[in-house]
């Protein structure tokens, strides 16, 4: 069901969805392992899609911000305890006033909104809204270099993901 919904979202808007398959279990578990040592009043996931990462961090009750209406419907069935907003992440970041740990699942490579998304994260970080941030990328370089986080580190490469994914943590 999740794979079909994901493929449908991909066919509707390939550059916004970024891949034909949701992330693998391994990527989700790699995110979850970091959660034990990261603290934040609330966790926000931008672009949760079908919830491939969300399911591994669900015990942290993440706030979910997803632009695709049908995926939001699926997310509300899968995660009835999470707050879900059918909204653009850029608008969310601009209007957010509460500090949070940010999980970015939105693909940035080939994304026509890339520079606007990065600018929105940068402004939110400068306003002190972003306590930490985690993202995965299919590229080999730091995907959020332009934000100017104090600390940035590639924490894991998951080669058994299609395509292989690299996870970065910023604090």
Ligand X SMILES: C[S@@+](CC[C@H](N)C(=O)[O-])C[C@H]1O[C@@H](n2cnc3c(N)ncnc32)[C@H](O)[C@@H]1O
Cβ-based nearer residue to ligand X, 55 or 171: 55
Token pair, residue 114, equals 């890339």
CB of 127 to ligand X, least distance (A): 19
Backbone angles phi, psi at 14, to 5 degrees: -60, -45
Q: Does 47 bind ligand X (CB under 6 A)?
A: yes
Contact status: 68 vs ligand X (CB under 6 A)? yes
* Residue in 89, 100, 102, 134 binding ligand X, rule: CB under 6 A: 89
Question: Should residue 85 be labelled a site residue for ligand X when binding is judged by CB under 6 A?
Answer: no
Paired sense of beta strands 63-66 and 43-46, if any: parallel
Indicate whether 42 belongs to the interface with ligand X (CB under 6 A): no
Burial 20-51 (b: 16+ CB within 10 A, else e): eebbbeebbebbbebbeeeebeebbbbbbbbb
Q: Does 88 bind ligand X (CB under 6 A)?
A: yes
Among 62, 82, 105, 121, binds ligand X (CB under 6 A): 105
Q: Could you say whether residue 84 binds ligand X (CB under 6 A)?
A: no
Q: Which two tokens stand for residue 152?
A: 């940035």
Pairwise CA distance, residues 123 & 159, whole Å: 32
15: left (phi over 0), alpha (psi -120 to 50) or beta: alpha
Q: What is the nearest approach in angstroms of ligand X to the Cβ of residue 145? A: 20
Binding interface with ligand X (CB under 6 A): 9, 16-19, 22-23, 46-49, 52-53, 65-68, 71, 88-90, 105-107, 113
């Amino acid at each position: 069901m999740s794979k079909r919904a994901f493929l449908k979202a991909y066919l509707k808007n390939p550059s916004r969805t970024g891949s034909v398959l949701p992330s693998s279990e391994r990527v989700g578990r790699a995110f979850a392992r970091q959660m034990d040592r990261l603290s934040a009043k609330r966790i926000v996931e931008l672009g949760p899609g079908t919830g491939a990462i969300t399911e591994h961090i669900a015990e942290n009750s993440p706030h979910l911000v997803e632009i695709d209406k049908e995926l939001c419907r699926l997310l509300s069935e899968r995660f009835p305890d999470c707050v879900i907003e059918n909204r653009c992440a850029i608008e969310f970041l601009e209007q957010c006033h509460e500090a949070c740990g940010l999980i970015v699942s939105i693909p940035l490579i080939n994304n026509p909104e890339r520079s606007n998304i990065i600018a929105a994260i940068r402004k939110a970080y400068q306003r002190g809204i972003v306590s930490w941030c985690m993202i995965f990328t299919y590229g080999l370089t730091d995907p959020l270099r332009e934000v100017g986080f104090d600390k940035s580190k590639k924490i894991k490469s998951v080669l058994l993901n299609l395509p292989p994914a690299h996870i970065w943590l910023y604090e």
